[in-house]
Amino acid sequence: MNPQEMKPQREAWYRSKTFKRFRRNPLAIVGSVLLLGFVAVAFFAPAITAPQLAELRTARPCLRDLGIKKDEALSALRNPLNPVFWKATLAPPPTCYEIPRDGYSPLPKPPSEKHPLGVSGGSYDILYGLAWGTRTAFYVGFLVVGISLAIGIVIGGLSGFIGGTVDNLIMRITDVMLSFPGLVFVMIVSVIFGSGLTTVMLALALIRWAGYARFFRGDILRTKAQEFVDAARAIGASPLRVFLKHVFPNAIGTLLILASMDVGSIVLTAAGFSFLGLGAPVGYADWGQMISFARGYILGTAQGTPFDFWYVWIYPSVMLVLFGLAWNLLGDAVRDALDPKS
């Protein structure tokens, strides 16, 4: 027999039992389809909003930074053969995240041919905000998860690797971080560093690493107790080598998967701050900021005619809830699939 064939074959992930359990869960399918929809909207946002970019005068800075004229906008942004299409899709200039406005009227206007989903107070185009807001959502979610995961892995790894007093101290710190309300923490940070989307993202990352650190430490301790680690130590591997080559790669998988499912809840939280006025500035393509336009109409004067301006807040809030739902459905299915008891 060829010695090559005797090597244990690594099972392909798509054939694994875990993935099978995941695939057979109808909720997982719903979540995946929803999420694919959001990815598509985010990807094609420039193509979807090409008419608004071409027609509204306040969209000029975006077109200028893309290097096209308003007559070319429609054809360039919807033609995948044009290099501008790829520039707008993959690396749009920051000016494109400003929702273009059609005048300065404080009153919202219902859906029309020019504005398929209407305009909100201040005449901001709602369709534009929703489409580009999807990009903001993914950006915020992935960046916060990325940063907090990096901090969590380093600190949780140190805690699990060194152990003893250091471990004890780190765990007490995470206790405090976990029990302190995140909202209050973000409020302090935005008073000190000034409010803005960046501050909110930073503050969320600084509060969320604690959960990951704890989880990772637990997985490290569990992996450390297994026989292959003892075996590696017995043949004389140094503690650092045992940790980096044997413990770390085996402990990190679950954390990465579970943490990536937190994107949804992070986006919901960040949207809440934009709604309060601590996050994205007025006019930025962000769902929470768009919902805040509705505060004036719903509170106070709304009695009797609350649905006059329904399009101002129903569209962005439904997008937001569906986005959170997609990630949570997926996350729930993943947790179930990873749980050997189910």
Partner 1 sequence: MLNFIVRRLLQIPVVLFVLSLIIMGLMQLLSPEQRAAAFVTSDKQIENLDLIIEKYHLREGFFVQYKLWAGEVIRGNLGFSRISKEPVLTTIQKRFPASMELALAAFVPIVLVGVWLGTQAATHRDGLLDQVLRVVAIVGWSLPTFVVAIWLVAWVYGGLGWFGIGRLPGSLLIELAGSDFRKYTGLFTVDGLLNGRLDIALEALKRLVLPAAALVIVVSAGIMRVMRSSMLDELGKDYVRTARAKGLAEKTVVYKHARRNALIPVITMAGPMLGRMIGGIVVIELIFNFPGLGEWAAGAALQLDVTTLLAFVMLIGLIMAVANLLVDVAYVVVDPRIRYE
Residues of the shown chain interacting with partner 1 in the complex, contacts defined by CB under 8 A: 27, 176, 178-184, 187-193, 195, 264, 268-269, 271-272, 275-278, 288, 291, 294-295, 298-300, 302-307, 313, 317, 320-321, 324-325, 327-329, 332
**Minimum distance of partner 1 from residue 190's CB (angstroms):** 6
CB environment 182-201: b (16+ within 10 A), e (fewer): beeebbebbeeeebbbebbb
- When computed from its CA atoms, the radius of gyration of the chain, rounded to whole angstroms, is 24
Residue position matching structure tokens 């899709």: 89
Instruction: Classify burial at 288, counting beta carbons within 10 Å of its beta carbon; exposed 0-12, middle 13-18, buried 19 or more.
Output: buried
CA distance 50 to 72: 10
Compute the residue count for the chain: 342
From 16, 113, 83, 272, select the one nearest 72 (Cα to Cα): 83
**Tell me, what amino acid is at 58?**
T
**Minimum distance of partner 1 from residue 307's CB (angstroms):** 7
**Minimum distance of partner 1 from residue 32's CB (angstroms):** 14
User: Please, which residue, 157 or 279, has the CB nearer to partner 1?
Assistant: 279
User: Please, which residue, 247 or 278, has the CB nearer to partner 1?
Assistant: 278
**Minimum distance of partner 1 from residue 208's CB (angstroms):** 13
**Minimum distance of partner 1 from residue 109's CB (angstroms):** 19
User: Please, which residue, 161 or 275, has the CB nearer to partner 1?
Assistant: 275
Residue position matching structure tokens 């990009």: 135
**Minimum distance of partner 1 from residue 310's CB (angstroms):** 8
User: Please, which residue, 198 or 226, has the CB nearer to partner 1?
Assistant: 198
**Tell me, what amino acid is at 171?**
M
Contacts of 290 (CB under 8 A, 6+ apart): 120, 124, 126, 129, 130, 133, 312, 313, 316
**Minimum distance of partner 1 from residue 34's CB (angstroms):** 11
Instruction: Classify burial at 303, counting beta carbons within 10 Å of its beta carbon; exposed 0-12, middle 13-18, buried 19 or more.
Output: exposed
User: Please, which residue, 226 or 301, has the CB nearer to partner 1?
Assistant: 301
User: Please, which residue, 257 or 325, has the CB nearer to partner 1?
Assistant: 325
User: Please, which residue, 100 or 264, has the CB nearer to partner 1?
Assistant: 264
CA angle centred on 306, ends 303 and 311, rounded to 5°: 165
